[in-house]
């Protein structure tokens, strides 16, 4: 039974699908009658089999069929209206046909003439294959020309942009070079200013060192301990050679003072006293000391003019030593005077180790490397390991730099080791003890107040004349 009902339902669905294609009322009525018959058959079968539940199912099926019928009927009505509308637009009343009948032939002739004209125009517009090909070639050629023009314009634009880019690049390069040059100039000015400040600070530091050395020597501190203390205070702003040379120069000048070499100078009343000269030096003024040394050197040169042999050589040696002291004092303020003084010393005493050592340092300071090397080598050739130990150590240190640049490592290490051994034995790099540091700090804090008493102790003391 269920299988039969399913087939009837499928057949009912197919009949519903046929309604959409019907074109006359009779066919529609027959189809609807057949649908009703089939539905009644399905209704009876479902009620017999399912009872009350079957009635619910049939109600839903009837609602579904009714919905389908409404949709298809509406579709058929819309189709009918569209056909009626087209017929109405083409409909012409009989009365109007009678009125327009005389013009019908004329209208037909005009319409025929118009169609013939259009056919002629179409024939005229219709071209042969060769003509169409020629026309196409012309159009292609025109398009090719347009493309070439566009490419030419693009090339010009690209060239123009390239020129602008090169100009911009050149401008940027110029601006960059100018900026770098300005930075270099600023850096150079800053470096010059820094060098000037360093030089001024160095001079100030030297004056502080001179005052401190005078205070230490006036308190009977040994030369080696003075050098050690000054090197500690200096914090390596100056080399061992510079500090040892400064201490030795102060001792040599005071030695000349205490030996009475300035007492018998001509016009002595117009010259500063020994204490005034040293006091001025401690405060940064080297002119009084240089005046005394220049006057004494003039006396020695006049004296040597009347001497012969060994006595004259001894006078020249004294003059060379005076020139070295003058050069070392002048080195603080006047490098030209220092240079001339050391050259004079080597001329007066060609075998003077001190004279050649000082002249070598001046050449090195002037960046005259060739003459500096010759002078340092002369020191090594003339110097005695006992009397001129620190001059030899200075020469060995500078010659080691020279051999390192030449690549002679073995010789450079040997010279450097000899220099370090001397400074180690001398104790210049040895740190001060806690007690020595405290005493040194106290002396330094009172150095200006105690300078007069220190000078009184120094000038009146018996300080030997040294080399």
The helix-helix angle for 451-460 and 129-218 (nearest 10°) equals 60
Answer for the pair 226, 439: CB distance below 8 angstroms, yes or no. Answer: no
Cα separation, 266 vs 296, in Å, equals 9
* Cα pseudo-dihedral 258, 259, 264, 270, rounded to 10: -30
Answer for the pair 215, 458: CB distance below 8 angstroms, yes or no. Answer: no
> pLDDT value at position 35?
65
Tokens of 50: 């399912």
Per the prediction, the chain carries an average pLDDT of 76
> pLDDT value at position 380?
92
Long-range Cβ contacts of 288-293 (<8 Å, 24+ apart): 289/253, 289/329, 290/326, 290/329, 290/330, 290/337, 292/262, 292/265, 293/253, 293/256, 293/322, 293/325, 293/326, 293/329
pLDDT at 325 over 60: yes
> pLDDT value at position 193?
57
Cα separation, 60 vs 54, in Å, equals 10
* Cα pseudo-dihedral 292, 293, 294, 297, rounded to 10: 130
pTM: 0.56
pLDDT at 18 over 80: no
Give phi and psi for 60, each to the nearest 5: -65, -40
pLDDT tens digits for range 115-146: 555 554 555 455 555 566 566 656 656 666 66
pLDDT at 15 over 60: no
Residue 325 or residue 202, greater confidence: 325
> pLDDT value at position 156?
76
Max CA-CA distance within the chain? Answer: 172
Cα separation, 307 vs 455, in Å, equals 36
What mean pLDDT is predicted for residues 402-411? 88
pLDDT at 462 over 50: no
User: Which segment of 196-205, 291-300, 386-395 scores lowest on mean pLDDT?
Assistant: 196-205
Tokens of 239: 């080399």
pLDDT band at 88; cut points 50, 70, 90: very low
> pLDDT value at position 301?
93
């Amino acid at each position: 039974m269920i299988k039969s009902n399913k087939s009837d339902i499928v057949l009912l669905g197919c009949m519903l699908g046929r309604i959409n294609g019907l074109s006359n009322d009779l066919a529609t009525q027959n189809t609807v009658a057949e649908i009703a018959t089939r539905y009644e058959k399905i209704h009876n079968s479902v009620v017999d089999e399912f009872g009350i539940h079957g009635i619910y199912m049939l109600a839903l099926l009837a609602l579904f069929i009714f919905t389908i019928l409404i949709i298809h009927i509406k579709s058929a009505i819309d189709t009918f209206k569209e056909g009626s509308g087209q017929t109405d637009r083409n409909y012409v009343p009989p009365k109007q046909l009678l009125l327009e009948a005389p013009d019908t032939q004329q209208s037909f002739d005009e319409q025929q003439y118009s169609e013939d004209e259009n056919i002629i125009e179409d024939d005229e517009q219709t071209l042969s294959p060769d003509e169409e090909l020629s026309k196409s070639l012309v159009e292609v050629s025109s398009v090719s020309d347009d493309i070439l023009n566009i490419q030419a314009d693009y090339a010009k634009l690209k060239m123009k942009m390239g020129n602008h880019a090169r100009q911009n690049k050149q401008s940027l390069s110029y601006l960059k070079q100018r900026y770098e040059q300005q930075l270099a100039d600023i850096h150079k000015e800053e470096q010059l200013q820094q060098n000037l400040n360093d030089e001024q600070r160095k001079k100030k530091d030297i004056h502080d060192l001179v005052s401190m050395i005078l205070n230490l020597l006036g308190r009977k501190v040994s030369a080696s301990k003075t050098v050690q203390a000054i090197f500690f205070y200096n914090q390596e702003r100056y080399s061992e050679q510079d500090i040892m040379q400064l201490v030795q120069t102060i001792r040599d000048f005071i030695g000349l003072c205490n030996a009475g070499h300035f007492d018998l100078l001509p016009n002595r009343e117009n010259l500063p006293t020994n204490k005034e000269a040293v006091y001025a030096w401690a405060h940064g003024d080297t002119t009084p000391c240089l005046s005394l040394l220049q006057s004494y050197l003039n006396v020695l040169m006049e004296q040597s003019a009347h001497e012969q042999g060994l006595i004259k050589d001894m006078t020249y040696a004294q003059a060379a030593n005076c020139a070295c002291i003058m050069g070392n004092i002048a080195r603080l303020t006047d490098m030209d005077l220092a240079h001339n003084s050391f050259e004079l010393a080597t001329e007066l005493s060609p075998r003077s180790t001190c004279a050649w050592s000082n002249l070598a340092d001046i050449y090195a300071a002037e960046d005259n490397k060739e003459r500096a090397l010759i002078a340092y080598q002369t020191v090594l050739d003339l110097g005695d390991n006992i009397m001129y130990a620190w001059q030899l150590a200075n020469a060995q240190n500078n010659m080691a730099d020279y051999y390192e640049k030449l690549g002679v490592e073995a010789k450079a290490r040997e010279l450097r080791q000899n220099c370090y051994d001397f400074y180690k034995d001398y104790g210049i790099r040895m740190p001060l003890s806690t007690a020595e540091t405290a005493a040194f700090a106290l002396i330094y804090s009172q150095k200006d107040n105690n300078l007069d008493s220190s000078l009184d102790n120094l000038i009146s003391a018996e300080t030997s004349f040294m080399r």
